[in-house]
Structure 1
C-alpha cells in the first residue's frame, strides 16, 4: 500500500519551495526599487553640485578666461597675441564693469572681449552657455600628483640629514618641460608649453553623460542657471537646439531623437536664478585664524572696530576666496523658466 504521508511531504515541500521563491522574488523587487530610489538621490545630488559649478563659472568668467583680444574698429577679431611664443590673456573687470558700470566683460581699454549685442552670442544678454561636465584625460596646466618632491634626508650619516633642500621644483608639470637636476633651471624649456597650456581635453568615457549645467544671461549681472543630471549634455530639446546646431552626431545621427527623448525623460533638471556682484570683503576685516584658544567659530568675520573684537586678534585673507566677485543671492525656481 502507498503511504499517504509521502504525498503530504511532497505537498509541504512544494509549498515551502513556492513560499521561498515568492520571498526571493519580493526581495529582488524591493532591492530593485531601493536601487532606483538611490539612483534618484545620486542624480539629484549631481544636479545640486552643478549649482556650485555654475556659480564658480559665473564668478571666474566675470574676469578670467577670455582668450581673445578686444574687437578692433575694423570688426576683425585677431588671434590671441603671444610674448616669447607664449599666449597671453587679458583680464576683464566684471559682468558689470566695476570702473564705470558699463555692460561687461571689457578689457583694460574699455573695449568688449566679444560682441555684446543682446540676443547674439555668449556672453551677450539673452544668450546662454552650455557646459557638459566630464573628466579630461589631461586638463590644461596639469601638474603631477607627487606629494613631496623634496623629502628630508633621514640618513643620520648623510651631510644633508634633516636639511629641507629644494633640489627639485615643486610642483612639476605633467607635460615634461625638460628640467633635470644636473642642468638646473637653465635646462627647462618652453618647447611643450602649448601642450601644457591646452592639455588633452578628450573626455574619459566613464565620466560622460552624467551631469551638466547651463547659464543664461538674462540681465547685466543676473543669470538663470539650469542644473542637470543626465545624458542630454544640456541641450534643451531636439528640434530647436540639437538639429539647428548640427549636433545630432552626439546622439547617433539624424535619427537619434528617440535616444535624446529617452535621455531627457530620465534626467533631472533644476532651475535657479542668481545675481553676480563685484563686491568682496574689505581687506581690514578679521577673517578666520583668530586666536584659536579664545574663539570657537573660526569662520567668523567682523570689522576691526567691532565691539567684540580685541587687539590681539589675528588677521588673514586665507579664506577670502572671492577675487572674482561674489554671488549676492540664489533663488530656486519652482517651474521651468521661459528662457534658459
Structure 2
C-alpha cells in the first residue's frame, strides 16, 4: 500500500473512529426538514420500489421484477481494517424478512461495481432469494463470483466491452430471456468517486481471470473493476417503453455516464433516477450533470446512510448519515434546483415506494 493511501486511511480512521466511539456521528433525526423527503406510498398504476439500503433495490412493474445489488452485512470500521470479512447470512435473512419483499421472480440482479458493499452479499442473496435471476455485472464481477461455486456460470452475465455505451455513443441493449422481452438493460460506462481527499481507499483494480479463492480483505480483495451506470426499460408487449430507470451505485464526475443521444430521442425523460449520495462531494458536477441529461420525473436518493456498522434492524431514528448534516442538505438542494419539477424521495432502508406510471 502506498504512503499516500496509508495516510488517507489514517485520516479517515481519525475522523470516523472517534465519532463512532462517542455516538456523535450525525443521526437522521438531527437533520431538520428531512421528514418531508421520507418515502411515501401511492396507489393506482405504479411501479413498486423497495429500498434495501446502500445501493440495493427491488423494483417491480406488474409481473416483472429486477434487483440492484443489496448490502446488508455492513461490517464496522474495525472489522474492515483488521480482519477478513464475509457475508452475515443471519443479518441478510433478518433484513429481507423485515423488508417483506418478494424476490423469487427477479430476472436481473445488477451490480454496478464490485466493492464489498455492493457485491459481497450477492452470492448469498442469489442462492437464498433470487435463484432464477441472472447476475449482470462487469468482467471483474464475473471473476470474483467464479470463486463462489454455488453460483452456476450460466447465471452470471458479464458485460462485454462492445455492449457498453460510452462517451455519448450507443452501446447494445441486453434483453431478458423471454421470447418477447419485457425488460432490457443498457450498461453505461461510469466511474467511482474518490472516498476522501481525492484518494480511493478501496482497491480500484480489476481482475482479468477467475479467482480461485473467495475475497477476504474488504480493502484490497473486492476490487472495484469496471463501473457502470444502468438504463433499464420496462417494455410494453409491442416493445415500446412503459417505464425507464437510470441507476448509479457510485457518484461520478461530469464526463462519465453520459446518455447516448439515441436513447434520449427515443424517450426524452427518465421516469425514475436513482442517485448515489455517498461521495458526491468528491465528484465534479454530480449530480447536476446527469440529472440535466436524464430529466427525471422522480428522483430517489440512495446510499445516504452510513454503511460502516449500520444495521437494518435498529430503530430508524438511529441511522447514521454518511454525509453529515450539511452534506445531505446540500445534496437535496442540488437535486431540487436542477430538476425543479421532479419529485424527490429520501427513503428509509427497507421502505417501499410506489412511483406513478407516466
TM (norm. structure 1) is 0.23
Structure of greater Rg: 1
Structure with more contact order per residue of length (Cα contacts < 8 Å, sep ≥ 6): 2
TM-score, with length taken from structure 2: 0.22
